[in-house]
Amino acid sequence: MSCYVVRVDAQTPNSDAILRAARILQSGGLVAFPTETVYGLGANALDPEAVGRIFTAKGRPAQNPIIVHVATTDDAKKLASAWPDQAELLANHFWPGPLTLVLPKQACVPDLVTAGGPTVALRIPAHPVALALLRACGLPVAAPSANRSTELSPTCAEHVLNSLTDQIDLLLDGGQTTGGLESTVLDLAADRPRLLRPGLVTVAALEALLGPIDHVRHENAEPLRSPGQMRRHYAPQTPLEITMHSRERVEELCTQGLRVGWLNHLDEGEAGAVRVVLPADAIGYSAGLYAALHQLDAVELDRIVVEMPPGGDDWMAVRDRLQRAAQE
């Protein structure tokens, strides 16, 4: 099977391209499309066979549930068997946007989408192409990131093609995504709101509306407490380490004769490594992180050394992804 690539304007996508993609979704096919976070690999969320093709294409473990994307809050409510006041508040405030809400599922949501669990993860993406596609197909669209499982998420069409070419029916190429990291995932099906995955919507922003929320920690070796909380994920092929004094570490590894990539948000000179300097603010760093890791991964290095990003709430998603990328 070959993959059609159709270029679309990110702000005002061509309606023929959107209609063609919508028809593919309606007939059980796979469409890769840009969202404001990363590129997604979408299928009709109500069709288990179509969703099964996502798992096959990605090599995704069956215990990892998939986020369902919808066009409106009313569409989200049709897939949830409970819609607490907190969901209404958050949806009004953050949708469309990079916040995924986990809620008890309706029976119509296939088990494959939820990894057999009683909850479904829902969001309205804030990207004109994604929204146009959702409206045109009239379906909820299950869409994980458009890459092989555990690998780096794609933030442009080229990343998607490098990872998945043969299994996609159509790729809508809307250029670079702006956010660059996956959505924040918040569980509203437990007694208290619980952060399952940090993302572009910060904990401070959630707590300003909800009061204190619980966190699920990924950094330690505890057993998995929620589906999809994989420790190694979002990872380049090249071994990656995070360190406080990256310049010294880079010099040490270079002296040993290793080929080293150096990812930093502080401009500290050359040190003999292939160097990428990202912006020193969390939003700019997030937007460029995966592209930088894709770039370093393509150079065939022995090691990628990353300067420890700052502490603080707005850097939480960046630290989470880097920590998971550093897992062996």
Host H or E run for residue 201:
none
With contacts defined by CB under 5 A, name the span among 66-74, 144-152, 172-180, 304-312 that binds Mg ion: 144-152
Paired strand residues for 276: 263
Give the residue from 43, 109, 98 showing the smallest Cα distance to 76: 109
Pairing of strands 39-44, 31-34: antiparallel
CB of 102 to ligand AMP, least distance (A): 5
User: Interface with ligand AMP includes 121 (CB under 6 A)?
Assistant: yes
Q: Does 164 bind ligand AMP (CB under 6 A)?
A: no
3-state class (DSSP) for residue 140: coil
CB 159: neighbour CB atoms within 10 A? 23
**What x/- string results for residues 85 through 124 when contact with Mg ion is judged by CB under 5 A?**
----------------------------------------
282 binds ligand AMP (CB under 6 A): no
320, interface contact from ligand AMP, Mg ion, none, CB < 5-8 Å by kind: none
**For Mg ion, which is the closer residue by CB, 58 or 105?**
58
Question: Which residue, 197 or 265, has its beta carbon nearer to ligand AMP?
Answer: 197
When asked if residue 163 is in the footprint of Mg ion (CB under 5 A), the reply is no
Residue 281 CB partners (closer than 8 Å, separation 6+): none
Near ligand AMP by CB under 6 A, which window of 164-172, 226-234, 240-248, 311-319? Answer: 226-234
Q: Which lies closer to ligand AMP via its Cβ, residue 110 or residue 227?
A: 227
Residue 182 makes contact with ligand AMP by CB under 6 A: yes
Could you give the CA distance from residue 162 to residue 178 in angstroms, rounded to a whole number? 20
- Number of other residues whose CB lies within 10 A of the CB of residue 82: 12
Confirm or reject binding of residue 35 to ligand AMP (CB under 6 A).
Answer: no
DSSP string, 20-54: HHHHHHHTT--EEEE-SSSEEEEEETT-HHHHHHH
Q: Which position among 114, 145, 167, 238 is part of the footprint of Mg ion (CB under 5 A)? A: 145
Which parts of 229-248 interact with ligand AMP (CB under 6 A)?
Answer: 229
- Name the residue nearer to Mg ion (CB basis): 160 or 250: 160
HSE (side-chain half, CA atoms, 13 Å) at 127: 29
For residue 107, the tally of other CB atoms under 10 A from its CB is 6
Contact footprint for Mg ion (CB under 5 A) = 144-145
